Amino acid sequence: MSTDTHYATVDSPVGPLLLTADPTGVLTSLSVPGQKNGRTVQEGWRHDPGLFRAAEEQLIAYFAGELKDFRLELRSEGSTFREQVWAALDTVPYGATTTYGEIAARIGASRAAVRAVGGAIGANPLLILRPCHRVIGADGSLTGYAGGLERKTRLLTLERHSAAGRYS
């Protein structure tokens, strides 16, 4: 990230969220405290809460169970493989889960690539906005989440509760 990075923090039920964007407002990351390889504010970054108003409003609505799909412009930089994995994450519906193997199959990767898929998911720079928390182990277990398993559990519980209410 360069000195052209703008940032803001947003309070949430899973802790403070650090959002970064380019000067035009395209979101480049969403991190949480203690996140593996998460972003932290750097010297030269510009604190610019107004740039993140739409993101903050949508995150508040998401945590209230009122928003199922984010409508924000996102940009991430990764290898072609990571970009394919991240695009597959974007197709996992609110309130649903998928497995690492299913993500591998969606992008046409072999079963042998499941570990690499897990690595790409773990490198997702846009937690919550790009729903890597919806990926679970093949046996249904909650495995790995860069933001911590407690946060993953809270996000999945929120979505399941909201989705259940939507269909009752």
| Contact yes or no for 18/9 (Cβ under 8 A) | yes
User: Could you give the CA distance from residue 38 to residue 35 in angstroms, rounded to a whole number?
Assistant: 5
The dihedrals phi and psi of 8, each to the nearest 5 degrees, come to: -155, 160
Distances (CA, A) of 63 to 48, 59, 67: 22, 6, 8
* Active-site choice (17, 127, 129, 132): 132
Is residue 132 flagged as an active site residue? yes
List, by residue number, the catalytic residues. Answer: 132
